């Protein structure tokens, strides 16, 4: 077979329910860190317009540290996304905005309400459809006040639903218990690292049990591992925190992934996007991109699923790298009881400086 055409004129991105109580979201969510301040503006407008026209309705953005060396001020990625959507003629009511809330308040970062107020002011909107509460990096944090404050934001109309990013099964259980106790809507989804090579948490029994018990869905993030699983092996390319120190092995697997993709008439990026969507619990995959060509290639993952979905699970079984390396009851990168200081340092440096 040959790879799918770079143009996908007839593709319609399907939607899945974001948990039992959540909205219907496109299986593709556009966002992921500094996506929009790394894109050429006119090209990004074309990307947004094409995505919307193909059925994408989920955009994820946060307030991050400037990507420039030594930059301590927030980047402009959220401001740029707002302008992109306006220039693309996209009405606010036609997409879902997911906004980040960070779980640490040092270095002048305010609490959830202050963060949300600032994010809405910067984006130029009165509400976020979804709040995404970031990584649990300090186990001494009292979750009860957080849940109460999220409840107030929801009740006040500043958001409609919420989810959490890379929490462990035990933390998910606890936050749902607190939500029930305070009559706050439960989070509708858990964002987890889920890819061809990272599956221990997403496919583990602890998370499976929590999702079944609470009605939450999953959102898959880091599906391309900073581009590595899509074949971008540039040594200078910044990538995320590496639980299990697996990215070197991922680079070694790149030729095998490329050959497997060719067998299915696909590209490595399409294979990476399609894999987490084989799991019916995955409501959406979150990824970043900068060009229309990348979007067109990514759209081919929908056709790959339609044509070869039944075959992909067996064909990709040997790519699971974190099996027996990362515990299924862990969070993003911290084993239960482990020192969270390295992760905390990484996140503070990467996101807010």
Q: What is the pLDDT of residues 104-120, one digit of tens each?
A: 655 566 789 999 999 99
263 domain-assigned: yes
How far apart (Å, rounded) are the C-alpha atoms in residues 257 and 250?
9
Specify the range with the lowest mean pLDDT, choosing from 98-102, 272-276, 317-321, 341-345: 341-345
2 domain-assigned: no
pLDDT tens digits, 66-125: 545 455 557 889 999 999 999 999 999 999 999 999 876 555 667 899 999 999 999 999
pLDDT at 106: 57
316 domain-assigned: yes
11 domain-assigned: no
**Total residue count of the chain as it appears in this document:** 353
How far apart (Å, rounded) are the C-alpha atoms in residues 288 and 326?
25
7 domain-assigned: no
Q: Residue 48 burial (CB < 10 Å; 0-12/13-18/19+)? A: buried
Domain count, the chain: 1
How far apart (Å, rounded) are the C-alpha atoms in residues 158 and 128?
6
319 domain-assigned: yes
How far apart (Å, rounded) are the C-alpha atoms in residues 310 and 308?
6
**In this structure, what CATH number is given to the domain that contains residue 237?**
3.20.20.100
Q: What is the mean pLDDT of residues 325-332?
A: 84
Q: Which two tokens stand for residue 57?
A: 């309705």
Q: If residue 252 lies in a helix (H) or strand (E), which one and from where to where? A: helix 247-263
- The DSSP bridge partners found for residue 59 are 30, 97
207 domain-assigned: yes
Domain extent at residue 334:
17-352
* pTM for this predicted structure: 0.89
Cβ atoms of 44 and 290 closer than 8 Å:
yes
- Confidence bin at 306 (pLDDT 50/70/90): very high
4 domain-assigned: no
């Amino acid at each position: 077979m040959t790879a799918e055409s770079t143009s996908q004129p007839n593709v319609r991105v399907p939607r899945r329910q974001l948990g039992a109580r959540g909205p219907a979201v496109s299986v593709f969510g556009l966002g992921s860190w500094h996506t929009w301040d790394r894109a050429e503006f006119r090209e990004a407008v074309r990307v947004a317009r094409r995505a919307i026209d193909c059925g994408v309705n989920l955009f994820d953005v946060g307030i991050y540290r400037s990507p420039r060396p030594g930059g301590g001020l927030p980047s402009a990625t959220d401001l740029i996304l707002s302008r992109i959507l306006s220039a693309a003629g996209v009405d606010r009511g036609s997409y879902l905005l997911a906004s980040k809330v960070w779980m640490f308040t040092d270095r002048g970062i305010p609490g959830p309400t202050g963060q949300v107020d600032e994010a809405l002011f910067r984006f130029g909107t009165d509400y976020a459809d979804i709040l995404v509460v970031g990584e649990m990096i300090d186990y001494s944090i009292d979750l009860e006040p957080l849940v109460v404050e999220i409840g107030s934001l929801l009740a006040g109309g500043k958001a409609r639903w919420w989810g959490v990013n890379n929490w462990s099964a035990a933390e998910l259980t606890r936050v749902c218990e607190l939500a029930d106790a305070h009559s706050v809507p439960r989070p509708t989804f858990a964002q987890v690292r889920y890819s061809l090579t990272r599956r221990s948490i997403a496919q583990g029994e602890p998370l499976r049990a929590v999702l079944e018990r609470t009605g939450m869905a999953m959102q898959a993030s880091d599906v391309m591992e900073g581009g590595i699983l899509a074949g971008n092996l540039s040594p200078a390319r910044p990538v995320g925190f590496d639980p299990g120190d697996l990215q070197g092995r991922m680079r070694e697997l790149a030729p095998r992934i490329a050959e497997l993709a060719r067998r299915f008439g696909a590209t490595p990026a399409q294979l990476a996007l399609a894999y987490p969507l084989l799991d019916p619990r995955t409501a959406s995959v979150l990824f970043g991109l900068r060009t229309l060509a990348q979007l067109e290639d990514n759209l081919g993952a929908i056709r790959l699923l339609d044509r070869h979905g039944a075959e992909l699970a067996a064909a990709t079984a040997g790519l699971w790298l974190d099996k027996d390396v990362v515990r299924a009851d862990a969070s993003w990168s911290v084993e239960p009881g482990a020192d969270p200081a390295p992760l905390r340092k990484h996140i503070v440096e990467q996101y807010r400086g």
